[in-house]
Amino acid sequence: MTTKSSILDATIADYIVNATVREHPILRELREETARLSQWRMAIGPEQGQLMALLAHVIGARRYLEIGVFTGYSSLAMALALPPDGYILACDVNDATTAVARRYWESAGVAGKVDLRIAPAAQTLEGLRRENVEPFDMAFIDADKTNVDAYYEAALELVRPGGLILVDNVLWDGAVVDPSVDDADTRALRDISLKAGRDDRVEAALVPVCDGLLIARKK
């Protein structure tokens, strides 16, 4: 099994995956299909999916909010981890890539857990806030990077106290520590890690799994 991490030494990264990851066969099929797409690096790696599932089990998650679905690896990993009455609200704008996700949700028998909203995430999140929905236990942010702060703030409103907010790609292939890189995406990812690290509303940790995963626990 080959890891998608570009941060860790490849030998160490592959050792972690090969030693510890127990990937569901349908997740493996989805990962292999996604690997044939030109944007395959948008998907999370299997070691990250397993970590997210473990976190869901630790906090007893039942309701999960996903901002950015792509082909559905993270949502499928979480759907498999959630209890039978689990609920996923998934936000994306791409009918083509989420059609892949739908196929695999169906194949795994978890499609009934997933409420996919095809619309700009900001629009969906604002609707959820207006509706005063039941709080989520966990949120995962893996969408357009320039709006990551807005998604983080929305997730803080929508996640229960003690719940988790996860932000993907916060190491951005190492660009966040390269002073010569100053594009909008990189600045947004630097800023969200610095913000969470100093945010009194959360406890935070940045884990160098795959492309960097920021984990914030809402107080």
Q: What is the pLDDT of residues 151-187, one digit of tens each?
A: 999 999 999 999 999 999 999 999 999 999 999 999 9
Which run of H or E residues covers position 167?
strand 159-168
List CB contacts of 217: < 8 A, sequence separation 6 or more. Answer: 162, 163, 164, 165, 202, 203, 204
State the average pLDDT over residues 189-216. Answer: 97
Calpha distance 76→41 (Å, rounded): 17
Q: For residue 19, how many other CB atoms are within 10 A of its CB?
A: 8
Band of residue 9 on the pLDDT scale cut at 50, 70, 90: confident
Calpha distance 174→14 (Å, rounded): 18
Q: What is the pLDDT of residue 191?
A: 98
Q: What is the pLDDT of residue 13?
A: 86
For residue 41, give the DSSP letter: G
Q: For residue 177, how many other CB atoms are within 10 A of its CB?
A: 10
Calpha distance 215→36 (Å, rounded): 29
Band of residue 120 on the pLDDT scale cut at 50, 70, 90: very high
Q: Which domains does the chain have, with CATH numbers?
A: 10-218 (3.40.50.150)
Burial 65-99 (b: 16+ CB within 10 A, else e): bbbbbbbbbbbbbbbbbbeeebbbbbbbbeeebbe
Q: What is the mean pLDDT of the chain?
A: 96
State the average pLDDT over residues 104-131. Answer: 97
Q: What is the pLDDT of residue 3?
A: 58
Residue 126 token pair: 């604002």
Which of 10-14, 71-75, 133-137, 177-181 bottoms out in mean pLDDT, i.e. has the lowest? 10-14
Calpha distance 52→46 (Å, rounded): 10
